[in-house]
Amino acid sequence: MEDFSIHKKTKSTFREYAEALITALVLALIIRTLFLQAFTIPSGSMLQTVQIGDYVLVNKLAYGLKIPFTDEYLWRGDDPQIGDIIVFKYPKDTSVDYIKRVVGVPGDVVEMRNKQFFRNGQPVKEDYIQHLHPDQVGPLDNTRPITVPPDHYFVMGDNRDNSLDSREWGLVPRGYIHGKAWRLYWSWDSTSHTPRFGRLGRLIQ
């Protein structure tokens, strides 16, 4: 005779695990969609601030709350500020995500003159940048003045001589911004094949 109590208990246990798994997946999706999202850094355009192999948590509520899976806001929070490091959809291919630093906000006039960045006619001191080739002037080291329009941002990489950014492909629409880079939750050195434990939890700024 079949033991229905055992069958019922087994079925109940399976159902509990399934419900717990589904609940966890739904919560993870909500958190990823509305609050926090993880991104990896595959290139060196933000050296030395962000390293290749860093894993970044992005605060998706920093600039407002978007309608899921759209670029439209349910409500707008603070606007991005000069110096913010943001993750956004690459304007020329929105399936690709980029990370750069905001250096020009709406109303600013920005330009490059022989590797020196100017905002509103004034040279900007940028302690966070590095120049791999300080004595070589490339095509992106001199740009015409650009006035940043409403709801757009001028961004550049901290590794200034090795960054394709707003100097080359233009401005970032506000709706393309995923959020503000917040902290490193993991970092992997692919050369030595070891974790960079000293970078874990570091605030990105």
Answer yes or no: is 121 within a domain. Answer: yes
Answer yes or no: is 13 within a domain. Answer: no
* Residue span of the structural domain in which 48 resides: 37-199
In 3D space, the residue among 16, 23, 12, 45 whose CA is nearest the CA of residue 166 turns out to be: 45
pTM of the model: 0.84
Answer yes or no: is 204 within a domain. Answer: no
- Show the CA angle centred on residue 181, arms to residues 45 and 64, nearest 5°: 130
| Cα radius of gyration (the chain) | 22
Distance CA 32, CA 69 (A): 11
Answer yes or no: is 80 within a domain. Answer: yes
Answer yes or no: is 205 within a domain. Answer: no
What ranges make up the beta strands (E) of the chain? 36-40, 54-59, 64-66, 73-76, 85-89, 97-104, 109-113, 116-119, 122-123, 146-147, 152-156, 172-173, 177-189, 194-195
Q: What is the pLDDT of residue 165?
A: 98
Q: What is the CATH classification number for the domain harbouring 65? A: 2.10.109.10
Q: What is the pLDDT of residue 182?
A: 95
3-state helix, strand, coil in the chain (%, to 5): 20, 35, 45
**pLDDT one-digit tens code per residue, 14-45:** 676 555 556 544 444 444 444 578 899 999 99
Q: What is the pLDDT of residue 35?
A: 58
> Which residues carry out catalysis?
45, 100
Low-confidence ranges of the chain (pLDDT < 50): 1-2, 6, 24-34
Answer yes or no: is 111 within a domain. Answer: yes
Cβ atoms of 171 and 194 closer than 8 Å: no
Q: Could you give the number of structural domains in the chain?
A: 1
Answer yes or no: is 31 within a domain. Answer: no
Which amino acid appears at position 191 of this protein? T
Q: Tokens for 2, please give them.
A: 């079949």
Q: What is the pLDDT of residue 17?
A: 59
